[in-house]
Structure 1
Amino acid sequence: MFATSTYSGTREEQYNLLNKQLDALLAGEPNRIANLSNASALLGQFLDRINWVGFYLMEDGGLVLGPFQGMPACVRIPVGKGVCGTAIDKNETMVIEDVHAFPGHIACDAASRSEIVIPLFKDGEAYGVLDIDSPELARFTEDDRIGLEKFAETLLKHI
């Protein structure tokens, strides 16, 4: 997407810096749409080899498209359907090496081959998901899962 290599050190150190940047970027801003927009833009800058990054937010019992970077996407995803709906239903991060092998995968962008989805819960309530797609098979690692879960924790403090 737009990734620029301004991060050095181990992947853990890079994610730690990313989270500090997110915390500083969102500090003092109460608007959730502005904060989600900046969070998706920051991830688009940080992550390489991705083609979509953004949020789906809980509304009326389902997930609705929120701020994102990338091609136009599916607007509504039922809870329990696709990778995003499954992640929020199970309250579990989903790391999918090959989306075409995932039963019930919802293809918003035919170029996507792998995906990571982090469920977002605030005060015990389902808030939405952070969804990131890549045109590469098996793009997302355990380091990505850990780093992105910490990113989500930082984000949730500001929304």
Structure 2
Amino acid sequence: MAEDLIIIKTESKEEQYQSLIPQIEALIRGEDDLTANLANISAALKEQFDWLWVGFYLVKEDELVLGPFQGPVACTRIKLGKGVCGKAWQDAETIIVEDVDKFPGHIACSSASRSEIVLPLFSGDVVIGVLDADSADLSQFDETDKVYLNQIINLIQL
């Protein structure tokens, strides 16, 4: 298991992900505890990209419930279809929001959040949670993030 990350900030976003993904894989390899792995993935992403907030919500009955994260305090429970996370869960697809103020029904857990990406976590065909990242900058997230964040969540053993 890796205990330290090598963080590169001078390269392109794609090169940063390419450097980080093998380190995340080493971090979680051999660990079967989901909470521990989600916590380390959140910490690695926060450290590499310095986003405002990054973490996971997990489906429990009819709600998304806050899981491991890094950043300011967050909404604890989100209903199906509500906000960006609830919509990504409902539609079972990634949502990239360039300006959260323009997203109908956005849930403002932090007024500092300006843009967001949410990716569903699947177990088979069932969404069991979401990876959520928020930035204090507009238009922070794009298709590059979607591609590489999907690679990261595919490393998680569900």
TM-score between both structures, scaled by the size of structure 1: 0.90
Q: Deviations over 1:33-73 (max 9, x none)?
A: 1111001001011113x210000000012100000001110
- Distance in 1, matches of 2:118 and 2:99, equals 13
Q: Larger relative contact order (C-alpha < 8 A, sep ≥ 6)? A: 1
- Distance in 2, matches of 1:113 and 1:101, equals 10
* CA drift at 1:7: 5.4
Percent identity between matched residues is: 50
In the other structure, the counterpart of 1:134 is 135
**Structure 2: runs of 5 or more not aligned:** 1-5
**Structure 1: runs of 5 or more not aligned:** none
- Distance in 2, matches of 1:127 and 1:63, equals 9
Please tell me whether the aligned partners of residues 8 and 16 of structure 2 are also in contact (alpha carbons under 8 angstroms): no
Q: Which amino acid aligns with 1:30?
A: D
Please tell me whether the aligned partners of residues 19 and 154 of structure 1 are also in contact (alpha carbons under 8 angstroms): no
* CA drift at 1:11: 3.2
Judged with a 3 Å threshold, the aligned counterparts in structure 2 of structure 1 residues 72 and 10 are, in CA distance, closer, same or farther, namely closer
Aligned length: 153
In the other structure, the counterpart of 1:66 is 67
- Distance in 2, matches of 1:14 and 1:54, equals 19
* CA drift at 1:13: 3.3
In the other structure, the counterpart of 2:57 is 56
User: Once superposed, which parts of structure 1, at least 4 consecutive aligned residues long, lie more than 3 Å away?
Assistant: 7-11
TM-score between both structures, scaled by the size of structure 2: 0.90
In the other structure, the counterpart of 1:35 is 37
In the other structure, the counterpart of 1:19 is 21
- Distance in 2, matches of 1:30 and 1:146, equals 24
